C-alpha cells in the first residue's frame, strides 16, 4: 500500500472551500472538486470562522499557521513598531529584543527570552524586515511641502506643459544656438 501524499492548502484555497460550502454545494461535490479527504473537509468547515478572519487580515497565501508562544508580547511589539515607524524612527533587531523584554516584564511573563531564534521567528511570522528608507523623503518638512503644493500651480501658470521639466538630482543640459 502506498503512502497518501499530503496536500497542504493555503488559506485562500480553504476559503474557496468554505465559500463553496456556504453557497450550498454538497460535501461530495466539494471533495471531488478540491480532491479532499473527508477528514480534511470537516476540519476546514469546522474552522471556517478563523479561516475567514485570517484571509481578511491579508494572510491568504499562508499554508501553515505559525503559532507564537508569547502572543501578548508580540501583539504589544507590533503596535509599538507601528507607532515607531509613524515617527520615522529606525528599528533594528537589538532594539526589538530590548522592547520585547520590557513588554514581557510589564505583562509579568517570567520565562521569556528574546533570543535570536525568537526574533527570526517573529520577523517571519509578521513579515517584518529591517530596511532603510531611501532618499531624503523622511527628512522633508511637511509644512514646506504643503506650501509648495499650494503655490506650484500659480508659479506654472505662464508655461506650457511641454516646457516643464523635473530635474531632481539630474543634470539638465541645454544647448542654445
Cα–Cα–Cα angle for 132, 73, 86, nearest 5°?
Answer: 35
Asked whether residue 92 is domain-assigned, the answer is yes
Clarify whether residues 36 and 81 are in a common domain. no
Q: Confidence band (pLDDT; 50, 70, 90) for 136?
A: low
**162 in a structural domain:** no
List the CATH number of the domain containing 100.
1.10.10.60
What's the pLDDT score for residue 137? 54
| Higher-scoring residue by pLDDT: 59, 18 | 18
Same domain, 46 and 82: no
Identify the weakest region by mean pLDDT among 6-15, 142-151, 160-169: 160-169
Both 75 and 36 in one domain: the answer is no
Q: Is the pLDDT of residue 99 over 90?
A: yes
65 inside domain = no
pLDDT score, position 104: 92
Domain of 25, in residue numbers? 11-56
Least confident of 40-44, 58-62, 146-150: 58-62
CA distance 73 to 131: 23
| Residue 110 maps to a domain | yes
Scan for cell 544656438, then name that residue: 177
Q: Taken in order 23, 27, 33, 38, is the CA torsion positive or negative?
A: positive
Asked if residue 95 and residue 48 are part of one domain, the reply reads: no
Pick the range with the lowest mean pLDDT from 28-42, 84-98, 121-135.
121-135
Say yes or no to pLDDT of 139 above 80: no
Q: What's the domain count of the chain?
A: 2
Q: Is 133 domain-assigned? A: no
pLDDT confidence of 173, banded at 50, 70, 90?
A: low
pLDDT at site 57: 63
| Domain-embedded: residue 37 | yes
The enclosing domain of 20 has a CATH number of 1.10.10
Which residue pairs, CB below 8 angstroms and at least 24 apart, start in 68-75? 68/121, 68/122, 68/125, 70/104, 70/109, 70/112, 72/103, 72/107, 72/109, 73/100, 73/103, 73/104, 73/107, 73/109, 73/112, 74/122, 74/125, 74/126
Asked if residue 131 is part of any domain, the answer here is no
pLDDT band of residue 12 (cuts 50, 70, 90) is confident
145 domain residue, yes or no: no
Same domain, 48 and 87: no
Amino acid at each position: 500500500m502506498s503512502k497518501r501524499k499530503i496536500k497542504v492548502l493555503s488559506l485562500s484555497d480553504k476559503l474557496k472551500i468554505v465559500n463553496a460550502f456556504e453557497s450550498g454545494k454538497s460535501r461530495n461535490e466539494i471533495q471531488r472538486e478540491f480532491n479532499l479527504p473527508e477528514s480534511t473537509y470537516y476540519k476546514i468547515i469546522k474552522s471556517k470562522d478563523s479561516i475567514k478572519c485570517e484571509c481578511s487580515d491579508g494572510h491568504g497565501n499562508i499554508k501553515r499557521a505559525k503559532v507564537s508562544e508569547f502572543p501578548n508580547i508580540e501583539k504589544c511589539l507590533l503596535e509599538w513598531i507601528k507607532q515607531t515607524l509613524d515617527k520615522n524612527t529606525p528599528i533594528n533587531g537589538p532594539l526589538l529584543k530590548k522592547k520585547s523584554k520590557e513588554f514581557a516584564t510589564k505583562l509579568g511573563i517570567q520565562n521569556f527570552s528574546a533570543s535570536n531564534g525568537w526574533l527570526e521567528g517573529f520577523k517571519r511570522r509578521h513579515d517584518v524586515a529591517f530596511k532603510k528608507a531611501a532618499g531624503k523623503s523622511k527628512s522633508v518638512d511637511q509644512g514646506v511641502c504643503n506650501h509648495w503644493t499650494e503655490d506650484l500651480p500659480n508659479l506654472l501658470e505662464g508655461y506650457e506643459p511641454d516646457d516643464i521639466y523635473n530635474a531632481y538630482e539630474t543634470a539638465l543640459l541645454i544647448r542654445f544656438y
